[in-house]
Amino acid sequence: MAAADGTGTAAAGGTGTREVTATVERMGFFTDTSVCIGCKACEVACKEWNAIPEDGMELTGMSYDNTQGLGASTWRHVAFIEQSKPVVPKEHPGQHQHQGDGAQSPQGEGPQDDADVFALAAQGSGSSELRWLMSSDVCKHCTHAACLDVCPTGSLFRTEFGTVVVQEDICNGCGYCVPACPYGVIEQRPDDGRAFKCTLCYDRLGEGQTPACAKACPTESIQYGPLDELRERAADRVEELHRAGVPDARLYGHDPDDGVGGDGAFFLLLDEPEVYGLPPDPVVTTRDLPAMWKQAGAAALTLLGGLAAAFATSGKPKTTRGSFTRRRP
């Protein structure tokens, strides 16, 4: 598989920071979006605990989402998606299977697109063809974290919990980590230039505390714990949902063989990742770095050869005015 190859290349081209070596257990988040109620307690708790400044108040018209996305001053973001698609398909889909992209929900397409919401509401919630997806997004604390790899100052580092944290006193505001992150998480504050993102509440973890968002979540949609444990729990939960007739349930970022070596913060989603604003197949950019340097080396040699040829084909300077040429012995 491509991902497996990738991990190998990345390891070959990387430094010691590449492999996650958590000195204590690697900790992470499992965000089970199937129980998220969109209360935004996590957003508020995160802002409060980490003293994150206000970053704009706007009414977007994007359902209940006025936060819009993760950034320098938004470390938890609750996405709201309204779909004309039943939560549980009408015929009990015992052996209905997820078909990859495109075909997972024949019931949701077509006639329901211009459904009369009042008529649907009158039918009662049981037969509703509308569903509301909510999901609390956060930094993925990637196993192979591009932000950390490309940071030229060493400001981004891997903690003993296997998480990825920025040191504000070392960050020099170069902004390189921002386009490097395949999830669009880390960002610079415009007034300051330095980069900020979720620390997975590094300060709380050190005291043996649960991160603020997980603590505040009333439905345990955000679960915090040792990553291995969370992965097991998540696998069980998907199975449970499949059995209960929610064939769309799938995990995202749980696979240690994916393009980023698995996420420290992974998700249970009810639709394709891009529906939630997540990349469907993220890859750590530094996986290709050895190949990039090779190309640059070839280009540098081409440059050298081309200019050598430019001089070789030009001979000595012309002598237009008499015997100007000097010959050195």
Residues that bind ligand SF4 (CB under 6 A): 139-142, 145-147, 151, 153, 155-156, 164, 166, 171-177, 181, 183, 185-186, 194-195, 197
93 binds, among ligand SF4, other proteins, none (CB under 5 to 8 A by kind): none
> What is the closest distance, in whole angstroms, from the C-beta atom of residue 5 to ligand SF4 in the complex?
20
Between 69 and 218, CB nearer to other proteins: 69
Task: Pick the binder of other proteins from 94, 111, 126, 315 (CB under 8 A).
Answer: 315
Between 31 and 155, CB nearer to other proteins: 155
Give the x-and-dash track for 12-41 against other proteins (CB under 8 A).
Answer: -xxx-xx-----------------------
Give the x-and-dash track for 47-66 against other proteins (CB under 8 A).
Answer: -------------x-x--x-
Between 170 and 291, CB nearer to ligand SF4: 170
Is 180 among the residues that bind other proteins (CB under 8 A)? Answer: yes
Task: Pick the binder of other proteins from 32, 43, 129, 187 (CB under 8 A).
Answer: 187
Q: What is the largest CA-CA distance in the chain?
A: 102
Give the x-and-dash track for 284-303 against other proteins (CB under 8 A).
Answer: -xx-xx-xxx-xx-xxxxxx
Tokens linked to 46: 């995160």
Tell me the H-state helices in 77-226.
117-123, 146-150, 177-180, 202-206, 212-216
Tokens linked to 78: 């609750």
Tokens linked to 268: 């249970």
Between 7 and 155, CB nearer to ligand SF4: 155
Q: Collapsing DSSP states into helix, strand and coil, what is residue 74?
A: strand
Question: Residues 29, 75: contact at Cβ < 8 Å?
Answer: no
141 binds, among ligand SF4, other proteins, none (CB under 5 to 8 A by kind): ligand SF4
User: From CA 102, how far away is CA 84, in angstroms rounded?
Assistant: 15
User: From CA 300, how far away is CA 10, in angstroms rounded?
Assistant: 23
> What is the closest distance, in whole angstroms, from the C-beta atom of residue 311 to other proteins in the complex?
4
Between 120 and 174, CB nearer to ligand SF4: 174
CA of 327: how far to CAs of 161, 178, 260, 314, 321, in Å? 70, 56, 61, 17, 16
Scan residues 231-290 and list those touching other proteins (CB under 8 A): 238, 250-251, 272, 274-282, 285-286, 288-289
Q: Which stretch binds other proteins (CB under 8 A): 20-28, 51-59, 182-190, 220-228?
A: 182-190
User: From CA 220, how far away is CA 246, in angstroms rounded?
Assistant: 19
The alpha carbon torsion through 83, 283, 71, 140 (nearest 10 deg) reads 80
User: From CA 221, how far away is CA 32, in angstroms rounded?
Assistant: 5
Instruction: Count helices and strands (H / E) in the chain.
Output: 9, 10
190 binds, among other proteins, ligand SF4, none (CB under 5 to 8 A by kind): other proteins
140 binds, among ligand SF4, other proteins, none (CB under 5 to 8 A by kind): ligand SF4
Is 87 among the residues that bind other proteins (CB under 8 A)? Answer: no
Indicate the burial class of 326 (C-beta count within 10 angstroms; 0-12, 13-18, 19 or more).
exposed
User: From CA 5, how far away is CA 193, in angstroms rounded?
Assistant: 36
